Amino acid sequence: MWERQRRHSARFTGLHCSVYLGLEEIAISLLEEEGGWGADIADGWGRTPLMWAAESRHAEMAKLLLLGKDVDPMAEHHTCGLPRVDMRGL
């Protein structure tokens, strides 16, 4: 069980975490950093930072992420084939 948990959490980046917690200034810093933090990269659970923002009801964070050119809100969740983001509740 712990090995599986470790594999999934290994791809949970600082950007995923700051978005999940609603730490907008940190997320902006990470997005502006040279090389970027991959705003559309899924973590081990198949969730992108945008998905975490939507699930956590951080509307401003979701809007910020949607400004990025590499964010695809219509991409499918890699494990279930459903859209990654449901923005209706924001």
Dihedral class, residue 81 (left if φ above 0, else alpha if ψ from -120 to 50, else beta): left
Cα-based distances in Å from 37 to 49, 56, 80, 82, 88: 10, 20, 24, 24, 26
pLDDT at 22: 94
Each residue's pLDDT tens digit, 61-77? 988 888 877 777 776 65
Each residue's pLDDT tens digit, 28-59? 999 888 666 678 888 888 888 888 888 889 99
Phi, psi at residue 83, to the nearest 5°?
Answer: -55, 140
End-to-end CA distance of the chain: 34
Identify the structural domains of the chain with CATH numbers, from first to last.
2-89 (1.25.40.20)
Most confidently modeled of 22-31, 47-56, 79-88? 22-31
